[in-house]
Amino acid sequence: MKLENLQKTGSFKLRGAYYKVSNLNMLEAKKEVIAASAGNHAQGLALSCSLSGIKSKIFMPKSAPLPKIDAVKSYGAEVVLEGENYQSAYEAARKEEQRNGGVFVHAFDDPDVIAGQSTVALEMLQQNPELKSIVVPVGGGGLLAGISLAVKMIRPDIRVIGVQSANVSAVVQRFTGNPKSSLTRSTTIADGIAVVKPGELTLPIISKYVDEMVTVTEEQIAFAMMFMLEREKMVVEGAGAASLAAVLFHRHLALGKSVGLIISGGNVDPQKWSLYKEMADKLNVMKRIS
C-alpha cells in the first residue's frame, strides 16, 4: 500500500500542486492562483502557494468535509464555498479567473499536475520492483493518467487498474465505450473522486495506457475504510479506500499477484464515522476475509 494519506496535507494532491506552482513564471507568480476542489487539491495548492509566497483563492463545494475546509484556510488560502459538487465549484472558479485574471490551476486536467502525480508510480517501482499490477482511485483522472503514463514508459508489463465509485463512474463509462447520459449527481462517500466530468487531457492517456477499470459500491468503500481503521489503525478517506475495496471485492485483481494499492488520501470528516460503520456492517462479509 502506498500510503499517500500520510502526506502533510493528507493526500497525494500535494505532488501535482507543488510541481505546478514551482513551474509558474515570475509574472504568473505575482497573480492570484485560483482553483476548484472538493478538498485535497485545495490543501495541496494552498500549502504550495503559501510556501512560495503566492496568494490563492480556492472554490470548494458546500458539501466538502469541514476538516478539509478548515485545513485549506489554515494553509493561508481564501476559501469560497459554491454549489453542491465539484463541477459547480469549478464553474464558479472559472468565472473568477475571467473576472480577475488570476492563474487557474486545474485539479487534474493540467500537464504539470499530471506529471507531479506520476511521482507516486516512480516511488512505487523503486520500492517494490516485483509489482505486477497497480490499482488507482479515479476522479477526474489526473492520478491515473500520471501513474499509467509513468508505469507504461518504464515497466509496460505492469497492469494498471483504475477504480471508481459506482455512483460516480464517468471515467469508467468512457473507458468501456458505454457512456450513459451526462452525470449530474455525485453522491458518494468518496468525495475526493466525485467528479462528474473527467478531464480532456486525462481521458486519452487513460484510454491508451490503462488496462482495466472497475467500480465499487458505497458499502464496499465504507467496508474498506473500516477495515483500514480496525485492522491497520489507519485513517483513510473514501477515495483512498477505493483501491482496497477493489481488490477485496474484485478478487481477480489480486489472486496470485503482487499488487500495489494507492491509498490516495486520509482526510475524513470524523462526524461521519458512525455512518461508515453502519454502511460497512450491511455487507456482513467479515468472515470472507478473516
Catalytic-residue membership of 13: yes
pLDDT above 90 covers a percentage of the chain that reads: 77
pLDDT value for 114: 98
Taking 90 as the threshold, does the pLDDT of residue 241 lie above it? yes
Cβ–Cβ under 8 Å, residues 92 and 83: yes
Task: Give 66's pLDDT tier (boundaries 50, 70, 90).
Answer: confident
pLDDT value for 282: 83
Task: Give 76's pLDDT tier (boundaries 50, 70, 90).
Answer: very high
What is the Cα–Cα distance from 53 to 56, expressed in whole angstroms?
10
Catalytic-residue membership of 73: no
Q: Which of 2, 11, 13, 152 is catalytic?
A: 13
What is the Cα–Cα distance from 109 to 205, expressed in whole angstroms?
11
SS3 label, residue 164: strand
Domains in the chain and their CATH numbers? 2-107 (3.40.50.1100), 113-289 (3.40.50.1100)
Task: Give 38's pLDDT tier (boundaries 50, 70, 90).
Answer: confident
Give residue-wise pLDDT tens across range 87-115. Answer: 889 999 999 999 988 999 999 999 999 99
Give residue-wise pLDDT tens across range 209-223. Answer: 999 999 999 999 999
Cβ–Cβ under 8 Å, residues 77 and 58: yes
Give residue-wise pLDDT tens across range 167-180. Answer: 999 899 999 887 66
Taking 80 as the threshold, does the pLDDT of residue 53 lie above it? yes
What is the Cα–Cα distance from 36 to 88, expressed in whole angstroms?
9
Question: How many Cβ atoms are within 10 Å of 263's Cβ, its own excluded?
Answer: 26
Cβ–Cβ under 8 Å, residues 140 and 199: yes
List the grid coordinates of 216. 465499487
Task: Give 65's pLDDT tier (boundaries 50, 70, 90).
Answer: confident
Q: Among 71, 65, 80, which residue's Cα sits nearest to residue 32?
A: 80
Task: Give 285's pLDDT tier (boundaries 50, 70, 90).
Answer: low
pLDDT value for 182: 53
Output the pTM of the full model: 0.91
